Amino acid sequence: MYVYTHPHTHAHTIMVKSYNPGYPPLAFFLNKTGRPVFLSTEYPLYQKAHGIKPNYKDLSKICNMARNYKDMQDSWDSILSTVEYYGNNEDGFAEAAGPGFFNDPDMPDYKLIAKSCNIWRNFADVQDSWDSVLGIINFYAEDKTRFREVAAPGQFNDPDMLIIGNFGLSRDQEKVQMAMWSIMASPLIMSTDLSKIRPYSKALLLNKGAIAINQDPMGIQGRRLMKVGNIQIWTRPVLPEGSFAFAFLNTGTGGTPQKVSIAVKDLGFTKPSGYNITEVFSGQFLAKRRPNDTFTAEINPTGIFFGKATLL
């Protein structure tokens, strides 16, 4: 394969409509030989330097790859800043990527990765803090590179280790991580000193209800169904067939709990026979609900309600 880099002379002054409409003469010549040609451009990099927002959708019509960040250096700081830039997706370039057009560096091919790996990391290292845990949850909620759909038995996304039992999370926040890692079908790998772990943290890590959701044989990764203010609502299909695990996550830091009331059908639970609702951590039966019924839960600040709706 030949890679031709589009010259970027005066790139900051050239708009997309002024670009060469096709391959340059060299690329045309190479095409005639039957060799594949890959056209790369650095227009986004130079436009950004001069305050022009790149139009990636237009670029994708005439190029195969677009440079959009500063040169990579031989240092961890350079790698980290590039990862953070791609994670923030501030110019909306992720949406333009697809067959035949890639941002440089390319986004991961999760389907290809899944052919060789059982689990793979795809975000920043978890730190012993609430901000870190919430940042990971939000990254998985946005799912901009569509990695959720690749999760299946034997192949899972890894949001990094559980920090339950350390120092940075409150009791409620520890429950959030355990519940969300279970909803997200994440590997439950502990990072804590087991010789010093608090009894309630140990009990949480050993909770059979949460582990059963996490290890559900269907291996489907949960998703964020909706976000209303500080409340995120997540669901995950589980066995028995037609049943769901679900979570109401309160990211607010105010001083009082928040009550959430929602029609069962709005959670995607639509079978007329109804559902038995239980609280996962305690295993307590709460209610029987049909699609038109309302379910209500109260969630502490930076806390979670973790439920299971079992189809009747």
Q: For the ranges 103-107, 119-123, 238-242, which has the lowest average pLDDT?
A: 103-107
Residue ranges of the chain assigned to CATH 2.60.40.1180:
223-311
Hey, is 290 helix, strand or coil? coil
- Who wins on pLDDT, 174 or 25? 174
Compute the distance between CA of residue 19 and CA of residue 22 in angstroms, rounded to an integer: 9
Q: Which residue has the higher pLDDT, 89 or 38?
A: 89
- Cis peptide bond upstream of 240, omega within 30: yes
CB 133 within 8 A of CB 93: no
Residue 83 parent element (H or E): helix 76-88
User: What number is the average pLDDT over the span 149-160?
Assistant: 97
Per-residue pLDDT at 76: 72
Overall fold of domain 223-311: Immunoglobulin-like (2.60.40)
> How confident is the model over 2-32, as pLDDT tens digits?
344 444 444 434 444 454 544 456 656 666 6
Q: What is the full DSSP assignment across 18-48? A: GS-SS--HHHHHHHHTT--EEEEE-HHHHHH
- For the segment 174-200, the average pLDDT, to the nearest whole number, is 98
User: What pLDDT, on a 0 to 100 scale, did the predictor assign at position 15?
Assistant: 47
Mean pLDDT taken over the chain: 83
**Is the peptide bond prior to 237 cis by the omega test (within 30 degrees of 0)?**
no
pLDDT band of residue 181 (cuts 50, 70, 90) is: very high
Are the C-beta atoms of residues 160 and 136 closer than 8 Å to each other? Answer: yes
Share of the chain above pLDDT 90, in %: 61
**What's the one-letter identity of residue 277?**
I
Q: DSSP of 115-182, one letter per residue?
A: TT-SEEE-SPPP-SSHHHHHHHHHHHHH-TT--GGG-BTTBEEE---B-TTSSS--HHHHHHHHHHHH
Give the pLDDT of residue 11.
42
CA 208 to each of CA 167, 177, 205, 269: distance values in angstroms, whole numbers, following the listed order: 24, 15, 9, 24
Averaged over 109-133, what is the pLDDT?
92
For residue 93, the model assigns a pLDDT of 60
